[in-house]
Amino acid sequence: MPQRLAVYPGTFDPVTNGHLDVIRRGAELFEELVVACAVNITKQPLFSVQERLDMLREVTAGLSNVRVTSFGGMVVDFVQSLGGRVILRGLRTFSDYESEVQMAYANRTFAPGVETLFICANLEESFISSRLIREAAALDGDIRRFVPSAVARRLRAKSAALKADVALHSKGKGGGSEGDHQRGRASGRRPRR
Ligand code: COA
Domain map (residue ranges) of the chain: 5-168
122 lines ligand 1 (CB under 6 A): no
pTM, full prediction: 0.86
Looking at the domain that runs over 5-168, which CATH code has it been given? Answer: 3.40.50.620
Give the per-residue pLDDT at 75: 98
Q: Is 81 a catalytic residue?
A: no
d(CA 11, CA 46): 11
Q: Is 170 a catalytic residue?
A: no
114-164 pLDDT per residue, tens: 999 999 988 888 888 999 999 999 998 999 999 999 999 999 999 888 777
Give the per-residue pLDDT at 55: 98
Distance 11 CA to ligand 1 centre (A): 5
Q: Is 181 a catalytic residue?
A: no
Identify the burial level of 171 via C-beta atoms within 10 angstroms of its C-beta, where 0-12 means exposed, 13-18 middle and 19 or more buried: exposed
The stretches in the chain having pLDDT less than 50 are: 174-193
Give the per-residue pLDDT at 178: 43
172 SS3 class: coil
Q: Which amino acid is it at 105?
A: Y
The three-point CA angle 17-19-24 to 5° equals 90
Host H or E run for residue 56? helix 49-59
Atom of ligand 1 nearest to the CA of 130: 13
